[in-house]
Amino acid sequence: MARVTIFGAGYVGVPTGAHFARTHRVTIYDPDNNKVENINKVIDNDSDSLHIHEKGLIELLQENHENIVATTDISLALDRPEIIFIAVGTPPNEKGRANLKYVCAAAEQIAKNVKNDCVVLNKSTVPPGTAYLVKEIIDKHLVNDVKISVGSCPEFLAEGTAVEDLRTPDRIVYGCDDTEALDKVTEFFLYLHGRSTLSPMTTLSSEVTKYAANALLATKISFMNSLAILCDAVGANIREVQEGVGKDTRVGRKFLNASMGYGGSCFPKDTSAIAEYGQLFSSPLEIIESTILVNDKTIKYFSEKIIHAFGDDLSDKNFIIWGIGFKARTDDLRESKPVQVARELMDRGAHVHIYDTVKGALENFKVENPSYEGKYSVYHEQYEMVNGNIDGLIIGNEHEKFRNPDVEKLENMRGKYIFDGKNVLNNHLIKSLKRKGFNYRSVGKDTVANAVDKTKLIDFLKNQYMD
């Protein structure tokens, strides 16, 4: 059992700390007293809500309550830790680069307060070379005569499934150029996972791996989204294309779901950051740059479908949005595509009626959109807002509650439009909706509800492919 300190009580730090507490002694440090009090109340079973929403996290914290504590006291946080994980925020600046000020501040705090030899690992997503910068800062401000090794251990967590991702990871990537420290980290993880799961490497390789993985996954999504737009143009079904491509074991099924674009705290930030990093090193990453452009194009493409159906002026229109979080089962609205759609509609005069299965997502929408007050309403029941004044339903994320809507409850909508931003409705349901007079729009599978224009395609081929 090792003594571990985690800097940062956010979407990465808290789940990671709860997981490590299965077999290690963990202290989570954060200067935010509200977050710390919140975590400790949950640990002590005095509260059943956290400042972040993550399935199974509260139960895990309470299960391992003897091995974990949160604090704002830096001296307590740095009381003989063997390994320190820096999991603070690295929000992008206006150029898309990761802001390292919180990482550097954590490094300085460690240097001024640590009293024993230890290993410091960056868990935050940071540009390659950051571990060397952290080491430089620590060496500059180090107060006590101790040895501090610095490396990288990037997180690979998906919001909504972070607890399970930590328990059964595909791999654990970590790097340190100090072989003794690398061995110590390996020993630490062997308490939790099998050796085949571990991927030790050099510091720089570890830092690059994080960006490479997220950028590649985002590229798969944008690749399918660009094909989805083509499918709409010619009349193919992107879901069928996805199935045919995904069965190729060289490709795989994951991250091939076409939609109105990816969002969240990772993919938008990480693709922009690594693309900008490549430009700074005169090594442009054109594929990733194209991935970003396609993602921006796809949300505009989806939004324009709504506008095309009703016109530019939406001042007398009402829309329902099911799912405002960037994905199902999260309260995170960072780079959320349904939020972008909501703002576009409100900017054009529409009133939006928002429902999400996660209460925190609705609260966050209120906090993050003060200028739109009066232009939206939030609801805690899925069909509460369905009435004769509603012009269209927009499916914002992939929660299973949105996959099989009660059609009878939707029939009294004034405008029978369903805009499926995540392509979650199945073909049978779409055809049933069509028979009941609904207009269905998606990203790449409109053909399910609309006949293919064969004549248009034949004429196109005659005009363009006969020379």
**Per-domain residue ranges of the chain:** 3-201, 214-448
| Nearest in space to 18 (alpha carbons), one of 64, 55, 50, 54 | 64
- CA–CA separation, 60 vs 331, rounded Å? 19
Predicted confidence at residue 34, as pLDDT, reads 97
Q: Which residue has the tokens 């709409």?
A: 232
Supply the DSSP symbol for 148: E
Half-sphere exposure of 256 (CA within 13 A, CB side): 15
Supply the DSSP symbol for 126: -
Sheet with 439-441: strands ordered across: 376-379, 351-355, 318-322, 392-395, 417-420, 439-441
Predicted confidence at residue 46, as pLDDT, reads 95
- CA–CA separation, 117 vs 389, rounded Å? 66
Instruction: State the DSSP H helix or E strand holding residue 42, giving kind and residue range, or none if neither.
Output: helix 33-43
List the pLDDT tens digit at each of the 467 positions of the chain: 899 999 999 999 999 999 999 999 999 999 999 999 999 999 999 999 999 999 999 999 999 999 999 999 999 999 999 999 999 999 887 777 889 999 999 999 999 999 999 999 999 999 999 999 999 999 999 999 999 999 999 999 988 899 999 999 999 999 999 999 999 999 999 999 999 999 999 999 999 999 999 999 999 999 999 999 999 999 999 999 999 999 999 999 999 999 999 999 899 999 999 999 999 999 999 999 999 999 999 999 999 999 999 999 999 999 999 999 999 999 999 999 999 999 999 999 999 999 999 999 999 999 999 999 999 999 999 999 999 999 999 999 999 999 999 999 999 999 999 999 999 999 999 999 999 999 999 999 999 998 899 999 999 999 999 97
pTM of the model: 0.91
∠ Cα 209 99 124 (to 5°): 40
- CA–CA separation, 110 vs 64, rounded Å? 26
Half-sphere exposure of 437 (CA within 13 A, CB side): 8
Instruction: State the DSSP H helix or E strand holding residue 121, giving kind and residue range, or none if neither.
Output: strand 118-122
Q: Which residue has the tokens 């320190």?
A: 84
∠ Cα 23 190 160 (to 5°): 65
104 classed as catalytic: no
For 63, residues 6+ apart whose C-beta sits below 8 A from its C-beta are none
- CA–CA separation, 260 vs 423, rounded Å? 9
For 323, residues 6+ apart whose C-beta sits below 8 A from its C-beta are 338, 355, 356, 357, 395, 396, 397, 398, 399, 402, 422
| Nearest in space to 394 (alpha carbons), one of 362, 360, 351, 361 | 351
- CA–CA separation, 396 vs 242, rounded Å? 20
Predicted confidence at residue 93, as pLDDT, reads 79
Predicted confidence at residue 157, as pLDDT, reads 93
> What length is written for the chain?
467
Which residue intervals of 171-285 are DSSP H helices?
179-190, 203-234, 238-246, 267-280
Domains 3-201 and 214-448 share a fold: yes
Catalytic residue selected from 118, 153, 231, 266: 266
DSSP 280-295: HTT---HHHHHHHHHH
- CA–CA separation, 330 vs 54, rounded Å? 7
Q: Are 225 and 298 in contact (CB under 8 A)?
A: yes
Half-sphere exposure of 52 (CA within 13 A, CB side): 22
Residue 437 zone, left/alpha/beta (φ > 0; ψ -120 to 50; rest): left
Residue 325 zone, left/alpha/beta (φ > 0; ψ -120 to 50; rest): beta
Predicted confidence at residue 467, as pLDDT, reads 79
CA distances from 387 to 307, 357, 412 (A): 21, 20, 6
Q: Are 196 and 266 in contact (CB under 8 A)?
A: no
- CA–CA separation, 47 vs 39, rounded Å? 9
Q: Are 258 and 422 in contact (CB under 8 A)?
A: no
Predicted confidence at residue 7, as pLDDT, reads 98
Domain spanning 214-448: CATH superfamily: NAD(P)-binding Rossmann-like Domain (3.40.50.720)
Predicted confidence at residue 451, as pLDDT, reads 86
- CA–CA separation, 100 vs 94, rounded Å? 14
Helix (H, G, I), strand (E, B) or coil at 168: coil
- Roughly what angle, to the nearest 10 degrees, separates helices 267-280 and 286-310? 140
| Number of other CB atoms surrounding residue 104 within 10 Å | 17
- CA–CA separation, 3 vs 289, rounded Å? 41
Kindly report the CATH number that applies to the domain delimited by 3-201: 3.40.50.720
